[in-house]
Amino acid sequence: MPKPRILIQLDPDSHASVFDAVVAVDAGVEHLLQYHSVQPDQVRDLVHGAMFTRSPQDLASTAIFIGGSNVAQGEELLRRATKCFFGPMRVSVLLDANGANTTAAAAVLAAAKHVDLKGATATILAGTGPVGQRAARLLARQGAHVRLASRSLQKGEEACNSVRSRIPEANLQAVMTSSPSDTAAAVAGAQIVIAAGAAGIQLLSADVLKTATTLKVAIDLNAVPPLGIEGIEVMDKAKEHSGVICYGAIGVGGNKMKIHRAAIERLFTRNDLVLDAEEVFALGQGLQ
Ligand SMILES: NC(=O)c1ccc[n+]([C@@H]2O[C@H](COP(=O)([O-])OP(=O)(O)OC[C@H]3O[C@@H](n4cnc5c(N)ncnc54)[C@H](OP(=O)(O)O)[C@@H]3O)[C@@H](O)[C@H]2O)c1
């Protein structure tokens, strides 16, 4: 008889995320053990508690979810957790700090429905945040030419270098967008634009959008007015506006939630999975 499914939620924030807890329960987790304010040097003992309590054949019924609002902290917790494992003594782990992996996967999958990503040009506005950087990483892996836009060229270069450290062959370029004419240049010739800016910040006006005649898909991840792309509604899901297929944040969010739940379910299929951006994207591809 399979052991009850236990998910151990490791969260560096002062309160473990309620959102992540609800998704875990909806994904069939039977026991959720929540740890908040988790520091990197505490991970080893927490993970040992997960991996040394059940026999190896039962370890697929124990898994770890790493969340929280800070992706860099989440990445460090993931690194510490995976260092604890050896031989069959391991449990599966999902990283989705700030929802970055599931959101970026859902956005890139939405684009892929309408444009062949290989060889496409994709502009990520405000691509320096955790969601934007992961979208850049996923698009680059799929062979797209990525323009990663930022108000600061240096910040954009740093984000590009971070992607290149994982994908040396990535075809990506930092572009500065500190004025509407910069933004027009950043989207000129692109087939895909993803607005990944902070909540409540408009990045692309309707006037500039009109100049982007090569665009096929426009995706806005900001759900808080003013929205990131003027003219796209938050609920838009593959809705055409002036010849461009548009997605708003909630239009993308439905698939993001599906991917998040499926990723939790996948954790319990074996005990050796490490689900980060690419693995979450691949899982999302399988759901389309
Ligand atoms: N739909 C969903 O399910 C879902 C899930 C998670 C997140 N989200 C949304 O996805 C978006 C991206 O999330 P995130 O956490 O990666 O974003 P973030 O880190 O808060 O911000 C991303 C980038 O926005 C730019 N920015 C910040 N303030 C700005 C301002 N005043 N003017 C212009 N640009 C500004 C910055 O880029 P530069 O400084 O480089 O210009 C920043 O790096 C957010 O809108 C978030 O709410 C949606």
pLDDT at residue 288 is higher than 90: no
Q: What is the atom index within ligand 1 of the atom nearest the CA of 256? A: 3
Specify the residue with its C-alpha closest to ligand 1, atom 32. Answer: 201
Indicate whether residue 128 lines ligand 1 (CB < 6 A). Answer: yes
Q: What is the tens place of the pLDDT at every residue in 196-239?
A: 999 999 999 999 999 999 999 999 999 999 999 999 999 999 99
Residues 177 and 239 in one domain: yes
| Cα–Cα distance measured from residue 201 to residue 217, given in angstroms and rounded to the nearest whole number | 20
CATH code for the domain in which residue 130 is found: 3.40.50.720
Residues 14-30 have a mean pLDDT of: 98
Query: Do 228 and 114 share a domain, yes or no?
Result: yes
Residue 63 belongs to domain with CATH number: 3.40.50.10280
126 & 183 share domain: yes
CA distance 126 to 195: 7
Query: 150 with 243, same domain?
Result: yes
CA distances from 241 to 193, 194, 206, 244, 287 (A): 14, 15, 11, 5, 27
| All residues at 6 or more sequence positions from 18 whose CB lies less than 8 Å from its CB, including other chains | none
Those residues whose C-beta lies under 8 Å from the C-beta of residue 34, and which sit 6 or more positions away, are: 9, 11, 16, 21
The reply to whether 127 and 239 lie within a common domain is: yes
Place of tokens 């297929």: 245
| Residue ranges making up the domain that contains 20 | 6-99+255-287
pLDDT in tens, 187-201: 999 999 999 999 999
Same domain, 156 and 38: no
Q: Do 195 and 109 sit in the same domain of this protein?
A: yes
Torsion of CA 24, 26, 30, 32, to 10 degrees: 30
Q: For residue 25, what pLDDT is reported? A: 98
Residue 204: DSSP 8-state? B
69: helix, strand or coil: coil
Say what the pLDDT of residue 2 is: 86
Count of structural domains, the chain: 2
Shared-domain flag, residues 149 and 179: yes
Rounded distance from Cα 115 to ligand 1 centre (Å) = 24
Check if 256 has its Cβ closer than 6 Å to any atom of ligand 1. Answer: yes
pLDDT band (50, 70, 90) for residue 275? very high
Q: What is the pLDDT of residue 20?
A: 98
* 1 within a domain of the structure (yes/no): no
Residues 259-273 have pLDDT tens digits of 999 999 999 999 999
Would you say residue 1 has pLDDT above 90?
A: no
* Cβ(126) – ligand 1 distance below 6 Å: yes
